[in-house]
């Protein structure tokens, strides 16, 4: 299965002729092929992408407004899909999300493509902003919803702002997975981190004396 197959593009309002999933995959895979060959992001023109994918420029513009929007979809295709949350407890949902971060860290370290994609994306503020809007912010909203549920259900302290809670829980894994490429990401790390943080975030009345 190709990277494009692993994370299909969300449906949106149609423009022009109906979309063809095969055509979209060929375009995304064309960008991936160019990145794998070491082509800098600045040189990935729509014309060059179209030539590599074997389509016309109009075909690309019917699906994406420009290179920035297309590149965000390429990054989404290169990432693991969002996990299905068990919904059994706040702890289980948090472990699932942290495990996704751990796996993404391992993938980035082992994949030259993923490493180059992220590096090139960071060099373009416009693409980085689009990535945050389309990918990061929806995930953060999911995290906030879980933490709010934990507060409302009495599993988490209510005297700490949800945004602070989010950083306390997800920040350590992000540091190890993204900012410390030398740090180990062993199995069981997600459970260890969640349990350690939740111990201090439980309401005082529910703590073991």
pLDDT in 10s for each residue of the chain, 209 residues: 334 344 444 444 444 445 688 999 999 999 988 988 888 877 889 999 999 999 999 999 999 998 888 988 888 787 777 899 999 999 999 999 999 999 988 887 777 667 777 777 777 888 888 788 888 899 999 999 999 999 999 999 999 999 999 999 999 999 998 888 889 999 999 999 999 999 988 887 655 55
SS3 17: coil
Q: Which value, in Å, is the radius of gyration of the alpha carbons in the chain?
A: 20
Q: Is 204 helix (H, G, I), strand (E, B) or coil?
A: helix
Cα–Cα distance, 43 to 105 (Å, whole number): 27
Q: Rounded to whole angstroms, how far apart are CA atoms 209 and 198?
A: 16
Measuring CA to CA, which residue among 23, 136, 18, 15 is closest to residue 75? 136
Distance CA 198, CA 91 (A): 8
> Which two three-digit tokens encode residue 23?
């055509």
């Amino acid at each position: 299965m190709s990277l494009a197959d692993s994370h299909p593009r969300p449906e949106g309002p149609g423009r022009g002729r109906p979309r063809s999933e095969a055509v979209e995959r060929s375009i995304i895979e064309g960008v991936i092929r160019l990145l794998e060959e070491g082509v800098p992001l600045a040189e990935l023109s729509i014309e060059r992408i179209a030539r590599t994918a074997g389509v016309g420029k109009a075909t690309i513009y019917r699906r994406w407004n420009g290179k920035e929007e297309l590149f965000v979809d390429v990054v989404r295709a290169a990432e693991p899909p969002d996990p299905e949350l068990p919904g059994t407890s706040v702890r289980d949902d948090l472990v699932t999300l942290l495990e996704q971060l751990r796996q993404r860290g391992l993938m980035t370290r082992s994949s030259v493509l993923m490493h180059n994609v992220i590096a090139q994306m960071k060099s373009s503020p416009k693409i980085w902003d689009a990535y945050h809007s389309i990918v990061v912010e929806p995930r953060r909203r999911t995290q906030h919803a879980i933490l709010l549920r934990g507060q409302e259900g009495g599993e988490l302290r209510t005297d700490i702002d949800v945004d602070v809670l989010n950083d306390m829980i997800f920040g350590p894994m992000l540091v190890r997975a993204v900012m410390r490429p030398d740090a180990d990401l062993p199995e069981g790390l997600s459970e260890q981190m969640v349990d350690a943080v939740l111990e201090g975030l439980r309401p005082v009345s529910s703590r073991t004396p």
